[in-house]
């Protein structure tokens, strides 16, 4: 499944079904750039997980709704509900473990 770039208008629709890893990021954020290839790997290797990215500079309403203060912030959604959260760069192994807890 390809990574989805969401907006304030599409975020709820993109995260309301199944297991979703949502990445709150910005283009100027160094750690966000570091985690991008990790998210690509997770997306390719975990078919049951949908990866959604949200640029916080362009979509401040959604970032505010979820209390995102630092980036990258990764929220795990299961059927539309936040079930977990991590802040900062995470290695692939840590993200896989995090997601496997919520399968």
Q: Residue 100 burial (CB < 10 Å; 0-12/13-18/19+)?
A: exposed
What average pLDDT does the structure give for the chain?
97
Q: What is the pLDDT of residue 1?
A: 72
Query: Which among 3, 10, 26, 29 is annotated as catalytic?
Result: 29
The pLDDT of residue 5 is above 90: yes
C-alpha distance from residue 70 to each of 3, 86, 103 (Å) = 21, 10, 26
Kindly list the structural domains of the chain, giving each domain's residue range(s) and its CATH number in brackets, ordered by start: 4-101 (3.40.30.10)
pTM over 0.75: yes
**What are the tokens at 7?**
């907006």
The answer on pLDDT for 79 being more than 80 is yes
SS3 (DSSP) at 67: coil
| 17-31 per-position pLDDT tens digit | 999 999 999 999 999
Q: Which residue is catalytic, options 32, 35, 74, 99? A: 32
Angle in degrees, CA 97, 99, 101, rounded to 5: 75
Q: What is the mean pLDDT of residues 33-44?
A: 97
């Amino acid at each position: 499944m390809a990574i989805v770039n969401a907006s304030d208008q599409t975020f709820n629709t993109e995260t309301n079904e199944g297991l979703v890893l949502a990445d709150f990021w910005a283009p100027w954020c160094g750690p966000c750039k570091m985690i991008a290839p990790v998210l690509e790997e997770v997306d390719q290797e975990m078919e049951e997980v949908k990866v959604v990215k949200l640029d916080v500079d362009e979509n401040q309403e959604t970032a505010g709704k979820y209390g995102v203060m630092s980036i990258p912030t990764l929220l795990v959604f299961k059927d539309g509900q936040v079930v977990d959260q991590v802040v900062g760069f995470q290695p692939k192994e840590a993200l896989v473990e995090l997601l496997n807890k919520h399968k």
